[in-house]
Amino acid sequence: MIRAWNNENQFHRRRFRLGVYFMLPTVLILLIVLAYPILASLVLSSQKIIIASDGIRGTFLGFDNYTRLLGNELFQQALFRSIYFTLVEVVCVVSLGLLVALLLDTPSGRHAFFRVVLLVPWALAPVANAVLWKWIYNANYGVLNWIVVGLGFVERNVVWLGRPWLALNMILVADIWKSVPFIALLLLAGLQNIPNYLYRAAKLDGANTWQTFVHVTLPGLKTPLVISCVLQSIWALKVFDLIYVLTKGSPADSTVLLNYLAWRETFSNLDIGYGAAIADVLFLLMFLLALAYIRALRPRKRSANRG
């Protein structure tokens, strides 16, 4: 770096120096607001923190918090539920997103109106989304019960958010509804990147719709699909607003996912060190997923052009 700062060539030297100045504020902020907390979190997770009247005190525990959480049944269930949640959400969101993308790629679907329609769920605040679905899921007055009972699928009002697995899956539905637009738009963009002549060639070769889909569309969508899966799984692990507004973890902690658990341990139960440990486990999970994302991106990098 020193060499670049003192580069002989004026053109390069000047540009490099500007680059350093330009990066400085960002690096500073990110160091303070990201780097420091991440490291501090690791430190905190090795301690038992007590908030006393005269400040914050920590007792060193080593890995105790971690061993505690690994053995803790609530944590294990939350972990299991988070994985379930993530898997189901990714499968549903990506397949539905693909369907919507395909739908919007047809001649009838190309109208800008449909894309705007997609933007509405996307732009909503997660909290607003939660509120929306809370109303729909309401046991007594929610429209879901109205429809379902009215059509005769069930006899009585269902307490959607009152039964353990049911509540978790209803939250899943709410998050899927909100997440599909982004993925659909991403896949739509990927679809439009597939050159037309491939489709024409397939048609000339006599491929029917399904074969065209399998041999032209899907391969062309490989990268966006992978990215969608990885992104969506990372976001699925982050779910919080829905739980907070809809169930707050009930019934019987059956809708407690990892992220929510970490928050509750830290800010409700005030077991800061333990909460930090849970957060770090979650971080590890996501970090591995992020690595997968980067590996998925890597092969497409083009080398610089010269000559």
Site for another protein in 204-233 (CB under 8 A): 223-224, 227
The answer to whether residue 30 forms part of the interface with another protein (CB under 8 A) is yes
Please provide residue 150's backbone torsions phi and psi, each rounded to the nearest 5 degrees.
-60, -35
Which H or E run contains 59? strand 55-60
Q: SS3 of 86, please? A: helix
Q: Point out which span in 61-69, 73-81, 161-169, 288-296 binds another protein (CB under 8 A).
A: 288-296
Given candidates 61, 79, 181, 256, which one binds another protein under the rule CB under 8 A?
181
Distance CA 211, CA 14 (A): 55
Q: Please, what is the minimum distance in Å from the beta carbon of residue 143 to another protein?
A: 6
Closest distance to another protein from the beta carbon of 258 (Å) = 8
Regarding 91 and contact with another protein (CB under 8 A), the answer is: no
**Contact status, residue 233 vs residue 292, Cβ threshold 8 Å:** no
Q: Choose, by CB under 8 A, the member of 188, 216, 229, 256 that binds another protein.
A: 188
Q: Rounded CA gap, 255 and 240, in Å?
A: 11
Q: Supply the minimum distance, in Å, between the C-beta of residue 25 and another protein.
A: 5
Told to check if 238 binds another protein by CB under 8 A, we report: yes
Among 75, 85, 133, 160, binds another protein (CB under 8 A): 133
> Is residue 276 close enough to count as binding another protein by CB under 8 A?
yes
Q: Which residues on adjacent β-strands are paired with residue 55?
A: 52
- Kindly tell me which residue out of 119, 154, 201, 270 binds another protein, with binding defined by CB under 8 A: 119
Give the shortest CB-165-to-another protein separation in angstroms.
22
From candidates 70, 74, 91, 117, binder to another protein by CB under 8 A: 117
Burial class (CB in 10 A: 0-12, 13-18, 19+), 279: buried
59 φ, ψ to 5°?
-110, 135
Vertex 192: Cα angle to 190 and 197 (nearest 5): 120
